[in-house]
Amino acid sequence: MRVAVIGGGIAGLSAAHELLRRGADPVVLEACARAGGKVGTRIEGGYLSEDGPNFLARPLDALLDASELRDDVVTPQPPMTRWIHLDGRVLRAPGLSLLARAGVGRALLEPLFAKPLRDDMPLGDFLERRLGRRAGGLAAAVMSAGVYAGDPAALSARDAFPSLGALAGKGSLIVNAFRRPKGPRSGIWTLRRGLGALADALALALHGRVRLGAAVGRLSPAQGGWSVQGERFDGVVLAVPAAAAADLTHGFAPKFAHAARQLRSAPVTVVHLGLRQGAVPRGFGMIDADGTLHAVGTLLPSSMLPGRAPDGRALVTAICGGARHPERAALPDGELVSAVMADLRATWGVRDTPEYVRVVRWDAAIPQYAPGHRDRVREARKLLAGLPRLELAGAAWDGVGVPDVALSGAAAAARLVP
Ligand SMILES: Cc1cc2nc3c(=O)[nH]c(=O)nc-3n(C[C@H](O)[C@H](O)[C@H](O)COP(=O)(O)OP(=O)(O)OC[C@H]3O[C@@H](n4cnc5c(N)ncnc54)[C@H](O)[C@@H]3O)c2cc1C
């Protein structure tokens, strides 16, 4: 079966590998000059910086085997100190002053009145009801900033955070978290030469089945299969962001296209800065719970990983903008870098001028799953029934983390070629 995989991000690459494994004949059509989508790495001037993700939170066994990169896996080295910017202060997590400010006493009463979550609701409302305004608000701000650069008032409690949703569905978060069977913790990881190496190796291992600079603008059902830019295929995996999926389908599936357009993403601009090693602390990084800094999250990659900055230098990565403050992601480079430096001065007392600056812009960086996302996706998929073989994959639908999109791509391939 000839399958066009439209979109060569990790979802599309994963789909293509699984299709190949199942005996199909996939071709990946990728608009950009390189495969990987949000996953890419740049090495210059002794700095290694990521276009998007820095760490993955779950194993990716199938893709590590396909890319032969198992030996390149690296895990972050301590100290893994995390700071939270709260009430204008920088507090160590989980330190005592943070716990005191967070209203932990009220949060511990949660098991007394928790009822199983029946209907999905915004994360912020849900956690404030369960843990109290202070602790719940803080937990929601940290979770939504850390994973989605998101807004706790707009993200789904159940569908944006499936493990939280599973606990909440049973009743008390605290009791069920303790009862949960404890498997081995996998921990976060990355690759020695950056996560871009994964995308490059996956594309290479597809042996000429990836067409780069091949933006698809024309897709239509044809003779029991599909016409993709005039070329005949038996099936299609649509592994593009929701807005691109809507553009490609509105001619033959207008209701689906309308549903896809309702799915929102937040813009993010990543600012990488090269500074003197002694100018910044060592640790994991900081999350802005207040929403007053330009960066929702700031990472210290060279503190945790070898080879991220030249000797005596530090790489600082600031994730700016997001759903609460999209306007910050749109600031011109110079203004944004100055604003991030001013924030670093106010929080960590950084006074240096960066010797290295790299800015990466994503207009639609991370999908923002609203309450009811899972049901909306189920309905959207139904709207494609009756068409020739067409499957959706990627961050718009089945989870935004790289491991999620890899699974989503493989699952799309399995539905296409059972
Ligand atoms: C700044 C940032 C930080 C992140 N941090 C993390 C993290 O730490 N850990 C984690 O697990 N995840 C993280 N993520 C999320 C994760 O990287 C993405 O959700 C995931 O990589 C998306 O993969 P995808 O294949 O679904 O989509 P994409 O990577 O968006 O790939 C879609 C591809 O489709 C192509 N395309 C679009 N339209 C067309 C068309 N018409 N024709 C052909 N090709 C087309 C695009 O060029 C793109 O290559 C982060 C994301 C960002 C932006």
DSSP 60-80: -HHHHHHHT-GGGEE-PPSP-
Burial class (CB in 10 A: 0-12, 13-18, 19+), 210: buried
* Residue whose CA is at the smallest distance from ligand 1 atom 10: 401
| CATH number of the structural domain 108-178 | 1.10.3110.10
pLDDT average, residue stretch 98-125: 86
Give percent of the chain above pLDDT 70: 99
Tell which one of 17, 38, 218, 358 to mutate to probe ligand 1, the residue whose CB is within 8 A of the most ligand atoms.
38
Rounded to 5°, the CA angle 46-83-187 comes to: 70
CATH class of 265-367: alpha beta
Residue 2 tokens, joined: 């000839």
For residues 418 and 411, give the distance between their C-alpha atoms in angstroms, rounded to a whole number.
Answer: 10
pLDDT digits (tens, 9 = 90+) for 305-348: 999 999 999 999 999 999 999 999 999 999 999 999 999 999 99
Q: Is the CB of 286 under 6 A from ligand 1?
A: no
When comparing pLDDT for 233 and 106, which is higher?
Answer: 233
* Closest ligand 1 atom, residue 54 Cα: 8
* pLDDT at position 184: 60
Q: Is the CB of 319 under 6 A from ligand 1?
A: yes
Residue 213 tokens, joined: 């600079």
Question: Cis omega before residue 403 (within 30°)?
Answer: no
* Residue whose CA is at the smallest distance from ligand 1 atom 14: 53
2-38+197-264+369-416 adopts what CATH topology? FAD/NAD(P)-binding domain (3.50.50)
* Closest ligand 1 atom, residue 405 Cα: 26
Question: Strands 313-321 and 265-276, how do they pair?
Answer: antiparallel
For residues 386 and 388, give the distance between their C-alpha atoms in angstroms, rounded to a whole number.
Answer: 7
Average pLDDT, the chain: 95
Phi/psi at 148 (5° precision): -115, -5
Q: Quote the ligand 1 centre to 395 CA distance (angstroms).
A: 7
For residues 98 and 103, give the distance between their C-alpha atoms in angstroms, rounded to a whole number.
Answer: 9
Flag whether pLDDT at 53 surpasses 90. Answer: yes
Q: Is the CB of 240 under 6 A from ligand 1?
A: yes
Residues 6+ apart with CB under 8 A from 380: 256, 259, 260, 392, 397
* pLDDT at position 110: 85
What are the CA-CA distances from residue 280 to residues 76, 86, 298, 300, 304 (Å)?
17, 19, 11, 8, 13
Identical topology for domains 2-38+197-264+369-416 and 265-367: no
Q: Quote the ligand 1 centre to 94 CA distance (angstroms).
A: 31
Tell which one of 240, 305, 362 to mutate to probe ligand 1, the residue whose CB is within 8 A of the most ligand atoms.
240
For the chain, the domains span 2-38+197-264+369-416, 108-178, 265-367
Neighbours of 137 (CB within 10 A): 18
Cβ 59 vs Cβ 186: under 8 Å: yes
* Residue whose CA is at the smallest distance from ligand 1 atom 29: 37
Q: Is the CB of 239 under 6 A from ligand 1?
A: yes
Flag whether pLDDT at 97 surpasses 90. Answer: no
Overall residue count recorded for the chain in this entry: 418
Residue 38 tokens, joined: 């949000």
For residues 142 and 145, give the distance between their C-alpha atoms in angstroms, rounded to a whole number.
Answer: 5
* pLDDT at position 415: 97
Q: Is the CB of 365 under 6 A from ligand 1?
A: yes
Specify the amino acid at residue 358.
R
Q: Is the CB of 8 under 6 A from ligand 1?
A: yes
pLDDT digits (tens, 9 = 90+) for 27-38: 999 999 999 999
Q: Is the CB of 38 under 6 A from ligand 1?
A: yes
For residues 366 and 345, give the distance between their C-alpha atoms in angstroms, rounded to a whole number.
Answer: 28
